[in-house]
Amino acid sequence: MKKFSLELPKYRLAMHFRLIKRRKPLLVEPIVPTVAIVNKKYKKGTLAGKFIRHVSGHKNARRIMAGNFAAFAVITSFLPFNQASNVNAFESSTLPDQVIIEPKNTLETQKGTQFPLTQFKINQSFSFFHPGIDLGSEVGNSVKPIKAGEVVEAGYATDGYGNTIVIDHGKGLLSRYAHLSKIEKKIGETVTTDDEIGKVGLTGRTTGPHLHLEIRQDGVPLNPFSIIPR
């Protein structure tokens, strides 16, 4: 510790200094990771899915998306209503007061698809920051796949999804069922729309019992209402 004193006729000023060595900054994961990073961080899932999970969960990426969204809201607030409502990037075609992002090649409603629950209410709809829909239901209610396919993931996901099943429906179409209380199928099993794949629960990060349903085409999140007939 360094000491310094200044003597004045009526006052005495004393100052003490402590030199502290600055710590080296911790290594920060890049927003765009390497293949080695995502394979080490995530043990299950496709490579494209691992990249999306890493980027969407990165704190710096969330700051960038939040900033861009805020800027968009400020800009559109100065536009006349008829102009602001025609911005294609945030066009809502399903439910009012929700933000929808649709891929350029939107898939038509597919035959042979169904909702995974027979009784539910929509707790949260599809949006920029929520790439799926939350279907509120009672714990233990049967969950069925939206379409026939093969189970490619089944187990507890540590990224907040809890007990999760992912089904590959072919041609790049995947569906995810999260927060299950019980998983009824294993990886590699083929399922039809009549098979029970799990039960509604509240595992993972959730405030109440519901099923989180995600649908992705070649890694791009889709609004489930554009795939499943209502």
**pLDDT higher than 60, residue 71:** no
- Average pLDDT in the chain: 77
In percent, the amount of the chain with pLDDT more than 90 equals 47
The pLDDT value given to residue 81: 38
Q: For residues 77 and 146, state if they share a domain.
A: no
E strand intervals along the chain: 2-7, 12-17, 121-124, 133-136, 142-143, 149-157, 162-168, 173-183, 190-191, 198-200, 210-217, 220-222
User: How far is residue 108 from each of residues 13, 100, 201, measured CA to CA in Å?
Assistant: 80, 16, 30
Q: For residues 105 and 33, state if they share a domain.
A: no
Last-in-domain residue among 86, 112, 143: 86
pTM of the model as a whole? 0.55
Mean pLDDT of 217-221: 94
Q: Over the stretch 84-140, which tens digit does the pLDDT of each residue have?
A: 333 333 333 334 444 444 444 344 456 689 999 999 999 999 998 899 999 999 999
Q: For residues 116 and 18, state if they share a domain.
A: no
Q: Which of 6-10, 112-116, 163-167, 168-172 has the lowest mean pLDDT?
A: 6-10
The pLDDT value given to residue 17: 64
Q: For residues 145 and 180, state if they share a domain.
A: yes
In 3D space, the residue among 43, 42, 75, 74 whose CA is nearest the CA of residue 56 turns out to be: 42
Number of domains into which the chain is organized: 2
Q: For residues 218 and 133, state if they share a domain.
A: yes
Q: For residues 131 and 208, state if they share a domain.
A: yes
Q: For residues 166 and 208, state if they share a domain.
A: yes
Instruction: Give a yes or no: residue 91 inside a domain.
Output: no
Q: For residues 110 and 5, state if they share a domain.
A: no
**pLDDT higher than 80, residue 198:** yes
Would you say the C-alpha torsion 173, 179, 180, 185 has a positive or negative sign?
positive
What's the CA gap between 205 and 26, in Å, rounded?
27
Going by the DSSP 8-state scheme, the letter that residue 226 receives in this structure is G
The CATH number linked to 205 is 2.70.70.10
Domain extent at residue 16: 1-86
